[in-house]
Each structure stands twice: as structure tokens, then as C-alpha cells.
A and B are shown apart, each in its own frame.
Chain A
Amino acid sequence: MGPSVPERPDRNAIDVRGVGKVFGTGDSAVAALDRVSVSIRENEFFTLLGPSGCGKTTLLRLIAGFDYPSEGEILLYGEDIAPLPPFKRPVNTVFQSYALFPHMTVGGNIGFGLEMLGKPKAEIAARVDQMLKLVRMEALKRRRISEISGGQQQRVALARALAPQPKVLLLDEPLSALDFKLRKEMQIELKRLQHETGITFIFVTHDQEEALTMSDRIAVMSSGRILQVGTPRDIYDRPAERFVADFIGETNFLAADMVGSSNGQARVRLASGAELGAALPDGLAPNGRVTVVVRPEHARLVKQGGAISGTLENVVYFGTDTHYYVRPDSGGDTFIVRQQNTRDGATFTAGERIGIAISDDAAQVLRD
């Protein structure tokens, strides 16, 4: 369908430079975006992730052209698209509410963009059929929108946005209205579509699990700023900031003192007195008090010893793994440990005295 996927794409599909957006004036002015900059590569599945109100949808709308930035520039393949109205930008959107035209059929909706572009009827018909095949909905071409289910509507919205072969596809929380099973299916579908068409996808969501499973790269946003950009692995294993660490998955935060550092690695001392190796984010060379994050699955429960000792408060069984909630002797928040359930693994019961072992490559120092 589209170009085959090059190994190392070298062009930026979208460049966002210092973009700010302010709503309202004077005392009631609100900065939805605070001078954000990010580059999205061609043929990428890029996700904007953050809680509601963080500005991700605003940024999407600026890229689509439904609103104008208060400052900064937005480039599409190097060209400034800010003065272009939405119908002149080769960028298409899949809306959260789908926004399918109720007075047209499925086929009519999908072909709409091509119609507006003035393509000949034969070409439009061919493309519509192609799109229907792509999203596996050939039988529904002549149906009215009111007659198809939510999941089907979602696919139609997708097909409609892909039909004109845009350079960039914007998806504004398109899966939020779907039930769990359908969501999972669509996540795989979207991934497949992106690979097949080679179109750059910019996906907006507040669901961190969704972001982690689907994206090539993620930008974590909060309060109008981009906090971190990286691959899902980077974001998960090496969160740069407290917010990122807290927002993505479960984390344990430990107060610690710097003991020494070299080559991006630090040695810290925990409240329990034990010393630990921890990774340092780039450019950070702190002294004194720091916060260290440890993912629950990177720690292990041991009957004796370990970096932290405490009492096992709660054991929650999840089928594939079990969560253990430990109250450390040295005070502080409950520490969560996640361990896979193996046949002959050691079992722990609530109320037991327990130790937590943390390997040297499990911890990361936070940029506070």
C-alpha cells in the first residue's frame, strides 16, 4: 500500500519548535502549552501520553490546524504549516467521537476526503473498496452510520482518515469508547495498519499501558510541558522525572543520600543503611539527598537480608504474578514487589518479617 519501511528513517515528519498556546486573556489566561518542542520522525508510531489537561489534545489540534499557536512554529517536512487552514494540510485526524457524517453511508464517509480533493469517481470508488478491505469491513459499504456498532464506527473513522493518504495521521484517543477486548484488538490493528501504510501516526492517549504496547516512541506530557521523550523501554526503565516515574506503571520511590558517582553510575545509601548502585540520568551529578526509583519487578523478596527489611503487610494474587506490599522498618511508603508465580517458588505470608533485595542495575536516580 504505502512505501516499505526503511530501517533508519532520516527525515522528521513533524517538527514542533517552541510552541505555546494560551487561552483567554489577562487574569484568566491559561497556558495550555508551554513552549514545547519535539520532533516526530517519518513512519513512526509516536504517542503523546499524559493525564487529561496536560495539553496533548491541544498540541494535536494545533498540528491538525483547528487552532493557531500563540507562539512557536510547526513544520511539516520542513515547511511551516502554521498559516495553512486545516483543509490545506495533508494531515488527517481520527476524532475521539469519530465524527462520522450521519447523513452519509459508510462508503460515502470514507470517500469524502477524496471527493473534496476532486479525485475522479472511479479512483474514489477503488480507494474506498481498498480501505474497506484494509479495515476488514467490505460488507458494510452501503450501511448508514446509525446502523453500525461502536467498534465498526471506529474502523470507518480510521478508514476515512487514511483514504486520502495523508502524510501524518493524528489519532485523538480513538480507542477510549471501546470495551476492553475490542480495545486490545484495535491496538494490534492500529499497529499493523501503521506498518502496512508507512504513514506517520501521532497517537494521543492517557492510558500508559496502551502507550507502552503500541508506540515506537512516547512523549510524556504534564501541565503543558513535555517531560520526557523516548522509547517505551526508556520511559519505563529510565524515567527522568518523578511525574514520569509515577505516571507509568507502578514505582517505588526511595529517599537516599549520594555516596559517590562515576560514569553515569551512582552509589547511594538508603534509609535502611544499605548501599546500592543506581543509574544516573544524563548530565545529572547530584549531591546529598536524592530520590531513587525501583520498579516492583526489579526487586525480590528474600527471607533474610536484602537492602531493606520490613514486614509483609499484604499479598495480592494476580494469576500470573503476585504483588507483595511491604512496610519498611526504616519508615517511608509501602514498598511493592512483584514476582512471577513459579511452581516451586518460595511462598510468603502476610505478617512475615521479610527482606527486599535490589540488584545494582535496578535503581535509577530521579531528576527532581
Chain B
Amino acid sequence: MNRAGEIAAKAERDDIRSRWLLSMPALATIFFAAAGPLVIVLLCSVLEPGPYGGVVWKFSPEAWISVFMERDIFDDTLSVADAHVVIFWRSVKLALLATVGALVLGFPTAYFIATRSERARDVWLFLITIPFWTNLLIRTLAVLQVIRNEGVINTLLIKLGIIEAPIQILFTDTAITLGMVYVYLPFMVLPIYASLEKLDFRLVEAAYDLYASRVQVLRRIIFPLVKPGVIAGSILVFIPAISAYVTPSVLGGGKNMMVANLIELQFGQGRNVPLGSALSISVMAIVAAALLVYVRNTGGSEARHG
């Protein structure tokens, strides 16, 4: 290589090396305090549980089997672990319900904001963002206040004479679902809004010009064009919902457990670190699958543009 080429190549190498060095602190922090330990969890899931919690360094597939199966203590046969299945099923079901609920409420809201004037839009966006940044726990607490037996809803219904005794909403699956819709609603609104903002309303005009009704315009023009936003919002709700810990803990009492609560149990009273690890990996797998669906559906363009 000629001298000029060498100089150019060296400059290039220096540049890339300095970029890696600059990234190091961030990468190291995340490696040690976020990503790295995940490998440890993976490892733990194939070890034996220790007598007082912790693990014993012996390989055992028991943890993974226990995710969905349980062994009969007498004759070692495997049967489906009902308790776990119920919990997994509840998690998936409630997460899906919460996503749908958030979509039904969130889409019109995003639409509303996107169709305001420029100035008004900022105000509405600000209003939607505030709950977004409020502590999850506080918002869950707020929901609790409203749905409990002496809470706003029941008190109102009793005062209006619609019911006589308070309806037990708290500590049910419904409470958890309502709580999740409430808590994750902004996550649905913002991506849909982002998509709607880019929508060219002249296309809507064209559709009306061609004899479409309002419903048809919504169904055939608007919705398909904002699909990326809808999918993004759905994923942003589904993933935290299925791995929710705080909301089911506060609104479900101890009885209506979701996967996250089950996992916590293994690391606390249950003293089954490998099982807890296996359950965690399972949750990660579900989340990864959901992310895959998301990336596929947006054509990977989000990933490319970052």
C-alpha cells in the first residue's frame, strides 16, 4: 500500500479505536450491572437448588421441568403443574387484555391529540406525558384508592343507589387488568401519536372524494397507515404487562399471582433459585418472541435507523 493509503488507514484505525474506548464505560457498566448477570441466571437454571436457598454446583434439568411439570413425590411420575400453568395463563391473558384495553382507549386519544392545532397539541402531549413519568407505584396506589370497597367507584355507586353493597373489585384479576391498562396507557398513546402525526391527511381527503364512509376511511386508510405505531404501542404495553410485578402485587393481593410474583417467590420463601432462574428465562423468551414480532412487522427499519 502506498504511503498515502497507509496514513489514511491508520487514521481510520485510530478513529475506530477511540470510539471503542469511549464506549467502554457504558458497555462495562451495563455488562456488570445488567446484561452479564443474565448469563449467571441462565447458568443457575440448570443447577440444583441448595438446602438454604442458593445453588449447588451440580447439573440438573429439574428446574426446567418444574416450570410446567411437577413430580409426584411418591412415584416420580410427571404431571402438569396446575399452579404454574394457571399463573402463566393468567399472565398472558391479562397482558393481552390490558393491551387490547389500552388500544381501545389509546387509539382515539392519540388520534384526538394528532388532530389538534400545533399549539394545542403540545399542551395535550404534556398532559399525557405527566402520568408517564409518575411513579408506577403511586399510580397503582391511585387505582387502588379508586376501586377498593370504600373507594370512589363503590362509594359513588352506593350513593347513587345503583348497588347496595360494595362490589369486590380489588384483589381480583379484573383489578390487575384495570390497573395495567391505567398504568401502561401512555405507552400505547405516544407511539400511535407519532405515527398519526406523520399521516398525510390528503390521503384521507382522497378517500372521501372516492365515496368512502367515515368507518371505511378509518378501517382502510388510517389504520393500515398507522399500523407501525399501533404495533409499537402494543409491544410497549404487552412486554411490561406480562412481566409486571408491582401492579399484581398491590392490586392482586397475594393470591392472584402473575409470573413475576411467582419468580419472586422462588427467590424468597420458595428457596428455589434454579426454578426462579428457569422461570425468568421463560419470561425473557416470551418477551424476545414479542420483540421479534415487532421487528418483523416494522420491517426492521426501526432497528436500522436506531
Contacts and interface: CB of A to CB of B under 8 A. Distances in A.
Question: Is there any pair of Cβ atoms, one from A and one from B, under 8 angstroms apart in the complex?
Answer: yes
B13 to A, nearest CB: 12
A82 B3 contact: yes
A69 B3 CA distance: 10
Nearest to B8: A68
Interface string A57-81: 0000000000011111100000000
B4 interface: yes
B17 to A, nearest CB: 16
Interface in B1-36: 2-5, 7-8, 11
Interface string A82-116: 11000000000000000000000000000000000
Report the interface size class on chain A.
Answer: under 10
Contacts of B8: 68-70
A358 to B, nearest CB: 48
A71 B5 CA distance: 6
A72 B2 CA distance: 8
A185 to B, nearest CB: 40
Contacts of A83: 7
A19 B7 CA distance: 13
A68 B3 CA distance: 11
B8 to A, nearest CB: 4
B2 A68 contact: no
A19 B8 CA distance: 13
A179 B238 CA distance: 57
B5 A70 contact: yes
A71 B11 CA distance: 14
Contacts of A68: 4, 7-8, 11
B2 A82 contact: no
A129 B118 CA distance: 46
Contacts of A19: 4
Interface in A284-321: none
Nearest to B9: A68
Contacts of A69: 4, 8
Contacts of A82: 3-4, 7
Nearest to A72: B4
A19 B2 CA distance: 12
A335 B62 CA distance: 94
Contacts of A72: 4
A252 B8 CA distance: 44
B9 to A, nearest CB: 9
Nearest to A73: B4
Interface string A1-41: 00000000000000000010000000000000000000000
A68 B5 CA distance: 8
A71 B6 CA distance: 9
Contacts of B2: 71
User: Which of B4, B5, B8: most chain A CB closer than 10 A?
Assistant: B4
A70 to B, nearest CB: 6
Interface string A196-231: 000000000000000000000000000000000000
A72 B5 CA distance: 9
A308 to B, nearest CB: 51
A70 B5 CA distance: 5
A19 B3 CA distance: 12
Contacts of B5: 70-71
A255 B259 CA distance: 87
Contacts of A70: 4-5, 8
A73 B3 CA distance: 9
A314 B11 CA distance: 59
A36 to B, nearest CB: 13
A70 B3 CA distance: 9
A83 B7 CA distance: 6
A71 B8 CA distance: 9
B5 to A, nearest CB: 6
Contacts of A73: 3-4
Interface in B128-148: none
A82 to B, nearest CB: 5
B50 to A, nearest CB: 55
Nearest to A20: B4
Interface in B227-275: none
A30 to B, nearest CB: 15
A100 to B, nearest CB: 26
A69 B8 CA distance: 7
Nearest to B2: A71
A314 to B, nearest CB: 43
A245 B260 CA distance: 78
A328 B155 CA distance: 101
Contacts of B7: 68, 82-83
Interface in A186-203: none
A97 B56 CA distance: 67
B125 to A, nearest CB: 28
A70 B2 CA distance: 8
A19 B5 CA distance: 11
A91 B62 CA distance: 72
Contacts of B11: 68
A188 B299 CA distance: 56
A212 to B, nearest CB: 33
Interface in A154-195: none
11 contacts: A68-B4, A68-B11, A69-B8, A70-B4, A70-B5, A71-B2, A71-B4, A71-B5, A82-B3, A82-B4, A83-B7
Q: Top 10 closest A-B pairs, CB basis?
A: A68-B8, A69-B4, A71-B4, A71-B2, A68-B7, A82-B7, A83-B7, A68-B11, A72-B4, A70-B5
Given A69-B4, A73-B4, 4 more contacts: A19-B4, A70-B4, A70-B5, A82-B7
